[in-house]
């Protein structure tokens, strides 16, 4: 049986690799990725290799005057910017901002790892089974001086998080290089010094933030992302042997989900996420982002009316709301749990929206969108 995942917004599912500023050069509104192996083999035949390596060690980025010939003759691939204005933004950006995360790929080409889909389905399943009472129970277990490193493990087990293994997924087939572009992203935040009237600001890496009127001064991050409409296809199967009582008993499963339940849970989770994003878009006053969230809601409604179809949020740039199975951040017990996470401790405050940051993709014409949303259809 096959599945088909279609990107609804720019999507990046990476494997941890990045293009450094000396791995590529920007020319003709596109990123030209140099085939360094080919260049080394060519230069090694003569005396020029040492000189080339010396230049690379000194260079912070590759400019056309010095490296244009390499970009024309030794480009491994060329990835266009989504917006031609991105070239000037790239030229003005500091070197540390020019590391470009890339899509997962093998020698066959770029592909979608099945683990990304399965992880999103797992989070959706746990979300459908956790409640405010679950958070109260976990928070009460933290009473005393003992420090717990993995305090939600028992709750995840009781919610049947491991039941997602009933679904067998394979990585997608490789897709065309033409399905990708380099997108510009920025991080929106809220100035909450006046909690009753938060103001939209944009983050500067390591230096705070700037108001919306100075958005051009905020930190720009470039990423290789699949274009909306790009489809990934692969195989899936239901592992029916796990439904046997001889298997469910040792695994501690009280029930066994089917693909219909996983899809339904994923849609419930997507609806909860989009409700929070819609509220955030209204607070910030970003009209284009409001339109993007509304469009995603319409696509979710269409998915709920289609058999074995769900909307997922996965990949790079999605932050807390795509990783946390419980989204009721206003609950006191849940805030207590979040304060135990060092990275979140300072961000959890009373009467302040959490999370207050969003990674925003600036599409062609400054159309704002949330990254990583896709529709998955499982063919029976």
pLDDT tens for the chain, residues 1 to 380: 999 999 999 999 999 999 998 888 888 889 989 888 888 887 777 777 777 787 777 778 877 776 667 667 778 889 999 988 899 999 899 998 899 999 999 989 999 999 999 999 999 999 999 999 998 888 887 766 565 667 778 888 888 889 999 999 999 999 999 999 999 999 999 998 887 788 999 999 888 899 999 999 999 999 999 999 999 999 999 998 988 888 888 888 888 889 999 999 999 999 999 999 999 999 999 999 999 999 999 999 999 999 999 999 999 999 999 999 999 988 988 988 888 888 888 888 877 889 999 999 998 767 899 999 999 999 98
Q: State whether 294 and 157 are in the same domain.
A: yes
Eight-class DSSP state of 243: G
DSSP β-ladder status, 180-191 and 221-226: antiparallel
Euclidean distance between CA atoms 178 and 172, whole angstroms: 17
Q: State whether 165 and 48 are in the same domain.
A: no
Domain of 267 in residue numbering reads as: 114-169+183-195+244-371
Alpha-carbon 182 to chain mean position: 15
User: Do the domain assignments include residue 234?
Assistant: no
pLDDT of residue 9: 97
User: Do the domain assignments include residue 50?
Assistant: yes
Euclidean distance between CA atoms 211 and 215, whole angstroms: 7
User: Do the domain assignments include residue 254?
Assistant: yes
194, two tokens: 């006046």
Q: State whether 72 and 120 are in the same domain.
A: no
User: Do the domain assignments include residue 29?
Assistant: yes
Q: State whether 42 and 156 are in the same domain.
A: no
Q: State whether 337 and 252 are in the same domain.
A: yes
The domain total for the chain is 2
Boundary residue ending a domain (63, 84, 105): 84
Strand boundaries in the chain, DSSP class E: 2-7, 14-19, 24-26, 30-34, 75-80, 100-103, 105-106, 109-110, 167-169, 180-191, 199-203, 209-211, 221-226, 231-238, 309-313, 358-362, 368-369, 373-378
Q: State whether 41 and 145 are in the same domain.
A: no
Euclidean distance between CA atoms 352 and 339, whole angstroms: 14
Boundary residue ending a domain (84, 100, 133): 84
User: Do the domain assignments include residue 177?
Assistant: no
User: Do the domain assignments include residue 218?
Assistant: no
Q: State whether 119 and 262 are in the same domain.
A: yes
Q: How far is CA 152 from CA 149, 231, 251, 253, 376, in A?
A: 9, 35, 18, 18, 28
User: Do the domain assignments include residue 328?
Assistant: yes
Boundary residue ending a domain (69, 84, 99): 84
The answer to whether 114 and 169 are in contact (CB under 8 A) is yes
Neighbour count for residue 57 (Cβ, 10 Å): 8
pLDDT of residue 289: 95
Euclidean distance between CA atoms 142 and 80, whole angstroms: 51
Q: Per DSSP, what are the bridge partners of residue 238? A: 167
Handedness of CA 43, 48, 50, 56 (dihedral sign): negative
């Amino acid at each position: 049986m096959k599945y088909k995942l279609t990107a609804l917004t720019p999507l990046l599912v990476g494997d941890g690799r990045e293009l450094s500023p000396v791995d590529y050069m920007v020319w003709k509104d596109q990123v030209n990725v140099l085939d360094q192996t080919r260049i080394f083999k060519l230069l090694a035949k003569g005396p020029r290799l040492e000189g080339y390596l010396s230049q690379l060690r000194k260079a912070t980025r590759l400019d056309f005057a010095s490296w244009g010939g390499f970009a024309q003759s030794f480009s491994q691939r060329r990835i266009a910017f989504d917006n031609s204005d991105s070239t000037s933004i790239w030229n003005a950006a500091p070197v540390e901002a020019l590391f470009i995360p890339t899509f997962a790929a093998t020698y066959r080409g770029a592909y979608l790892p099945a683990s990304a889909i399965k992880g999103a389905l797992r989070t959706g399943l746990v979300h459908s089974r956790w409640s405010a009472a679950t958070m109260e129970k976990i928070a009460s277990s933290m009473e005393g001086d003992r420090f717990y490193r993995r305090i939600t493990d028992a709750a995840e087990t009781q919610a049947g998080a491991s039941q997602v293994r009933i679904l067998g997924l394979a990585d997608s087939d490789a897709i065309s290089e033409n399905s990708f572009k380099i997108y510009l992203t920025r991080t929106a935040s809220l100035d909450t010094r006046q909690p009753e009237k938060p103001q939209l600001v944009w983050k500067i890496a390591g230096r705070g933030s700037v108001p919306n009127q100075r958005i051009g001064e905020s930190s720009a991050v470039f990423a290789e992302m699949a274009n909306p409409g790009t489809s990934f296809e692969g195989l899936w199967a239901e592992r029916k042997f796990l439904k046997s009582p001889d298997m469910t008993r040792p695994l501690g499963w009280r029930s066994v989900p089917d693909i219909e339940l996983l899809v339904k849970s994923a849609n419930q989770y997507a609806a909860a996420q989009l409700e929070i994003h819609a509220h955030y878009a209204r607070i910030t006053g970003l009209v284009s982002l409001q339109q993007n969230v509304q469009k995603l809601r319409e696509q979710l409604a269409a998915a709920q009316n289609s058999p074995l179809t769900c909307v997922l949020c996965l990949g790079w740039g999605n932050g807390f709301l795509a990783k946390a199975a419980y989204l009721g951040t206003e609950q006191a017990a849940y805030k207590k749990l979040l304060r135990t996470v060092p990275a979140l401790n300072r961000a959890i405050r009373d009467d302040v929206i959490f999370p207050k940051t969003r990674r925003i993709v600036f599409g062609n014409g400054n159309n704002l969108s949330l990254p990583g949303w896709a529709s998955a259809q499982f063919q029976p």
